[in-house]
Structures are given as C-alpha cells and as structure tokens.
A and B are shown apart, each in its own frame.
Chain A
C-alpha cells in the first residue's frame, strides 16, 4: 500500500510569490488533514477534509491560505501571497474511519 505522498519535498520562494503544496492520501481514506510546524514551535492543525468537504478549517492562519480537495482524492494547499512567517514544514495526513492517522514526509517551505 502506498503511503501519503507530498510534493514538493522542499520549496524556496520569495516573499509575495505563490506556492502550491500537494498531498496524495492513501487510496480510500476519506479523512485528510493538513498540519504545519513553524520553526521552534509545535506542530499545529490547519484543516480537515472529509472526502471533498472541509470539516474543520479552524486552524488556517488567514485568508492567504486556500485548501482544496478535488473529488475527494488529492488535496492542494495554496499560499498566496507568501510571507516570511509562512516558512515551516507542512504535513499532510490521511485516515480511514478507524482512528488511524498516516502522515506524509512533509513539505519544507522556505520564504525568503
């Protein structure tokens, strides 16, 4: 079984540019989550999809962040325009309906 795939693994962009992160969950997993770890801080929840619907987006920092999940399959997280404080590692995770999360390897975003 393939795991949760995230790409790119690293991204370096200039302040003001746009970046799109992608997450491919494990096939058949209805739940998809995004988390973020800013340098020196805790890993924090961003949002949760159930299939293509946003179940909870209370952790999204501001309206520069837009998440979508096309057809209940892969998800994208767009940051537009990127700011310096957006730098960090963005993790995606998926789970079926039996309480098990599987995380991807993360995307390290650096905004310069």
Chain B
C-alpha cells in the first residue's frame, strides 16, 4: 500500500527566506505526485503535480518541486516566502486503478507553515 510521510508538522520561516517542505512516499510503481495547499477557511488548492517527464516541476505562486526517484522524495521549494504563504501544505501520491484519469489520493499529514513578518 502506498504511504506519504511529511516529517515536519510545523515550520516557521521569516518573510523573504527560502522554504523547503519535505515529502517522502512509498509506492510500488511510478507515482503521480501532488502538492496541495489549504489556507484558513479555504479548500485544497493544487500547487503542482508530477506525472512523468521533467523531474523539476513548476507550480503556481512561485513554488516548485523536484521528484527524486532514488530518494522517493518530492520536496516543495520556494526561494522567497511571502506572508500570504502561511497555510497548511499537503503532499499526496496518486494511485491509478481504473480508466484514464481515475486515481485515488493518499495524503501526508500536512505541514503547517507560519511566516514571521
């Protein structure tokens, strides 16, 4: 069975500092990998996804993530954090089980990001 580990429950960074959120997964095949963000009172918003191809993926809001198969990792990065990035971030792996576009997501427990002005 697939699993996702986000080792950091809570991270605090200063505005303007760089950010890296860690994600490790366990999955027997080539995974579909995702990062979602949930701001207070909002739903889950997709930041970026990896299905195949270039292992460095660019997303919205200036985020990027790199798929490293040898390390089973898909870490999320941002070079300069803004106060509005304070939110909870979820890494997920997608398990495709039937048909094109049908897959089930397994999520990590999430990492809460606080930003100091």
Chain A residues close to B by CB (< 8 Å): 3-4, 31, 33, 35, 41-45, 48, 50, 55-56, 59, 91, 93, 95-106
Asked if B89 is at the interface of the complex by the 8 Å CB criterion, the answer is no
Nearest chain A CB to B89 CB, angstrom units: 12
A100-B45 Cα distance, complex, nearest whole Å = 11
A44-B100 Cα distance, complex, nearest whole Å = 22
Query: A48 and B43: CB pair below 8 A?
Result: no
4 nearest A-B residue pairs (beta carbon): A105-B43, A97-B101, A103-B44, A43-B107
Chain B residues close to A by CB (< 8 Å): 4, 32, 34, 36, 41-46, 49, 51, 90, 92, 94, 97-110
Which residues of the partner chain A approach B51 to less than 8 Å between Cβ atoms?
99
Query: A42 and B99: CB pair below 8 A?
Result: no
Which residues of the partner chain A approach B97 to less than 8 Å between Cβ atoms?
56
A49-B38 Cα distance, complex, nearest whole Å = 24
Q: List 6 A-B contacts (CB under 8 A).
A: A31-B101, A56-B98, A97-B100, A98-B101, A99-B101, A106-B43
A59-B104 Cα distance, complex, nearest whole Å = 10
Further pairs besides A99-B94, A103-B36: 17, Cβ < 8 Å: A31-B101, A31-B102, A33-B104, A33-B105, A35-B105, A41-B109, A42-B107, A44-B107, A45-B104, A45-B105, A48-B104, A97-B100, A97-B101, A99-B32, A99-B51, A103-B45, A103-B46
